[in-house]
Amino acid sequence: MQSQVEPNLSYFIAKARSIDGRSFQKKIKVAILSSFTINGLEEALRVKCAESDITCATYLCGYGQYNQDILDQSSKLYEFSPDITFMIIDTRSVLSTLFYTPYTIPANDRRTYIDKRVADFVNLVKTFKNRTGSKLVLTNCSIPTYSPYGICEVRTEYGLKEMVYDFNARLSDAFRSDPQVFLFDFNSFVAKYGEINVLDYRQFLVGDIKVSLSYIPHLAEELMGYVKANLGVNRKCIVLDLDNTLWGGIIGEDGFDRIDLSLKPPGMAFMEFQRVLLALYQRGVILAINSRNNEDEALRAIRDHPFMVLREEHFATMKINWSDKISNMKEIAQELNIGLDSIVYFDDDPINRELMSKAIPQIKTIDLPDDPSLYASTLMQINDFNTLVMTNEDRKRGEMYREEHKRTELKRSSSNLEDFLKQLEIRVTMKKANNFTIPRIAQLTLKTNQFNLTTRRYQEEDVETLAQDHTKLIGCAQTQDKFGDNGITGVYIVNKNHVDKEWFIDTFLLSCRVMGRGIEDAMMGYILSKAKEEGVIKVKAEFIPTKKNKPCEQLLPNFGFKKEGEQWVYTYNVPIKQTNHVELNED
- Of 231, 265, 293, which closes a domain? 231
Convert the pLDDT of each residue in 421-458 to its tens digit.
Answer: 999 999 999 999 998 999 999 999 988 989 999 999 99
Sheet holding 54-60, edge to edge: 54-60, 26-34, 84-88, 135-139, 181-184
- Provide the CATH number for the domain around residue 356: 3.40.50.1000
Report H helices in 72-150: 76-80, 91-95, 107-131
If asked whether residues 199 and 182 sit together in one domain, one would say: yes
The reply to whether 386 falls in a domain is no
In this prediction, residue 4 has a pLDDT band, given cuts at 50, 70 and 90, of low
The reply to whether 366 falls in a domain is yes
Residue 368 to residues 212, 240, 374, 386, 578, Cα–Cα distance (Å): 27, 12, 8, 21, 52
How far apart CA 205 and CA 260 sit, in angstroms, is 51
How far apart CA 402 and CA 316 sit, in angstroms, is 5
pTM: 0.81
Range of the domain at 437: 392-586
How far apart CA 192 and CA 213 sit, in angstroms, is 16
Could you write out the DSSP letters of every residue in 423-447?
HHTEEEEEEE--TTTHHHHHHHHHH
Find, among 155, 159, 157, 156, the residue nearest to 143 by Cα. Answer: 159
If asked whether residues 472 and 487 sit together in one domain, one would say: yes
Find, among 485, 479, 483, the residue nearest to 431 by Cα. Answer: 479
- Of 214, 231, 248, which closes a domain? 231
Could you write out the DSSP letters of every residue in 145-176?
S--TTGGGGGGSTT-HHHHHHHHHHHHHHHHT
Q: Among 57-61, 473-477, 499-503, which is the least confidently predicted range?
A: 499-503
Q: Positive or negative, the Cα torsion across 219, 224, 230, 234?
A: negative
550 burial type by CB count under 10 A (0-12 exposed, 13-18 middle, 19+ buried): exposed
If asked whether residues 468 and 580 sit together in one domain, one would say: yes
How far apart CA 104 and CA 110 sit, in angstroms, is 10
Q: Positive or negative, the Cα torsion across 150, 155, 160, 164?
A: positive
| pLDDT score recorded for residue 2 | 47
How many Cβ atoms sit within 10 Å of the Cβ of residue 349? 16
If asked whether residues 211 and 260 sit together in one domain, one would say: no
If asked whether residues 535 and 521 sit together in one domain, one would say: yes
**What total of structural domains would you count in the chain?**
3
- Provide the CATH number for the domain around residue 475: 3.40.630.30
How far apart CA 25 and CA 413 sit, in angstroms, is 41
CA angle 154, 158, 162 (to 5 degrees): 70
Report H helices in 181-266: 186-193, 195-198, 201-207, 216-231, 251-254
How many Cβ atoms sit within 10 Å of the Cβ of residue 297? 17
How far apart CA 348 and CA 367 sit, in angstroms, is 8
If asked whether residues 123 and 141 sit together in one domain, one would say: yes
How far apart CA 140 and CA 137 sit, in angstroms, is 10
Strands 567-570 and 538-541: antiparallel
pLDDT at 358 over 70: yes
If asked whether residues 205 and 265 sit together in one domain, one would say: no
The reply to whether 90 falls in a domain is yes
Number of alpha carbons in the 13 Å side-chain half-sphere of residue 395: 4
Convert the pLDDT of each residue in 132-180 to its tens digit.
Answer: 999 999 999 999 999 999 999 999 999 999 999 999 999 999 999 898 9
If asked whether residues 242 and 227 sit together in one domain, one would say: no
Q: What is the mean pLDDT of the chain?
A: 93
DSSP reduced 3-state for 329: helix
Rounded average pLDDT over 306-335: 95
The reply to whether 387 falls in a domain is no
- Provide the CATH number for the domain around residue 95: 3.40.50.1110
How far apart CA 509 and CA 476 sit, in angstroms, is 9
| pLDDT score recorded for residue 1 | 43
| pLDDT score recorded for residue 573 | 87
Rounded average pLDDT over 31-38: 96
The reply to whether 385 falls in a domain is no
Convert the pLDDT of each residue in 211-247 to its tens digit.
Answer: 999 999 999 999 999 999 999 888 999 999 999 999 9
If asked whether residues 110 and 205 sit together in one domain, one would say: yes
- Of 345, 380, 415, which closes a domain? 380
If asked whether residues 92 and 167 sit together in one domain, one would say: yes
**216-231 vs 186-193: helix crossing angle, rounded to 10:** 140
| pLDDT score recorded for residue 52 | 92
If asked whether residues 412 and 436 sit together in one domain, one would say: yes
Those residues whose C-beta lies under 8 Å from the C-beta of residue 94, and which sit 6 or more positions away, are 35, 117, 141, 164, 167
If asked whether residues 258 and 359 sit together in one domain, one would say: yes
The reply to whether 116 falls in a domain is yes
